[in-house]
Amino acid sequence: MQTVGFVIPTLNEADRIGQVLASIPRTELEALGYRATAIVVDGNSRDGTREIAQSMGAHVVRQRGRGKGRALRQLFVDFPCDFGIVIDGDGTYPARHAVSMMEPLSDGADMVLMARVRQNGSAKADRFNRMGNRILTGTANLLLGTELQDLCTGMWGFKSRVVRDLRFEANGFDIEAEVFARAAKHGYRLRQLEVPYEPRDDGSKLRPFRDGFRIFRRIVREALRRRH
């Protein structure tokens, strides 16, 4: 049986990590021939996130340093499964959609990116992020020659060799921009699917201006790197 590791970054997600872990579609994946494991990579939460994750059978890793990028990179070195699915630990992405990611991943695709489609209109708090994401996605497509639908999605899958081959540097929320840009540049085949998304109304770790700027800077760096 092939293995699929769900990589879940968390920072103080005690209210939500339980629901994310419970919604991993283990049975459906098993029926398709995949054994799922949950790997929570935690940024030193102080609200009991790690304990909850452990009690639900997840493999829990404490990250070194801070930031979502550092957390993911720590797991990518020697990634232990055949496939990986990154999914935020805040319950905003439906883990059950992982099932639909396996067909492209087991076939021609090296990565599958899940583009967010907002449900029930758009919450006010989310409107700003959404606009920022549109601008960043458009900038990336322009500068990198990609056709990305959602540069900052927190749900994406990969064949393990992709994260083993590419050496990433991003420490924070610019990790997705770096991964997608490099994968595209290296000729890896990216498939995009849509996924329903429920924006959170509290507990966000994203600081729109600071993180938006870092993502922008990352896109520019990757674009300049392409010319060498």
Ligand X SMILES: Nc1nc2c(ncn2[C@@H]2O[C@H](COP(=O)(O)OP(=O)(O)OP(=O)(O)O)[C@@H](O)[C@H]2O)c(=O)[nH]1
Helix (H) or strand (E) holding 71: helix 68-76
Any residues with CB less than 8 A from the CB of 83 and at least 6 apart, and which?
2, 3, 4, 5, 34, 102, 105, 106, 157, 158, 159, 160
> From its phi and psi, is residue 187 left (phi > 0), alpha (psi between -120 and 50) or beta?
left
Which of 14, 21, 71, 111 is close enough to bind ligand X by CB under 6 A? 71
Query: Does residue 132 belong to the site contacting ligand X (CB under 6 A)?
Result: no
Q: Cα dist. 67→2, 9, 72, 177 in Å?
A: 30, 9, 9, 14
Q: If contact means CB under 5 to 8 A according to the sort of partner, which of ligand X, Mg ion, none does residue 38 touch?
A: none
- How many residues bind ligand X (CB under 6 A)? The answer is 24
Query: Does residue 205 belong to the site contacting ligand X (CB under 6 A)?
Result: yes
Which residue, judged by CB position, is nearest to Mg ion in the bound state?
Answer: 90
Which of 13, 90, 110, 126 is close enough to bind Mg ion by CB under 5 A? 90
Query: Does residue 211 belong to the site contacting Mg ion (CB under 5 A)?
Result: no
Q: Cα dist. 200→30, 58, 142 in Å?
A: 30, 23, 29
Pick 92 or 171: Cβ nearer Mg ion: 92
Amino acid at 146: T
State the DSSP code for 104. Answer: H
Pick 88 or 110: Cβ nearer ligand X: 88
Name which of residues 15 to 54 contact ligand X (CB under 6 A): 41-43
Query: Does residue 178 belong to the site contacting ligand X (CB under 6 A)?
Result: no
Using the rule CB under 5 A, give the single segment among 82-90, 118-126, 140-148, 180-188 that binds Mg ion: 82-90
C-alpha distance across the termini of the chain, in Å:
41
Q: Which residues bind ligand X (CB under 6 A)?
A: 9-11, 13, 41-43, 63, 66-68, 71, 88-90, 92, 129, 154, 173, 199-200, 204-206
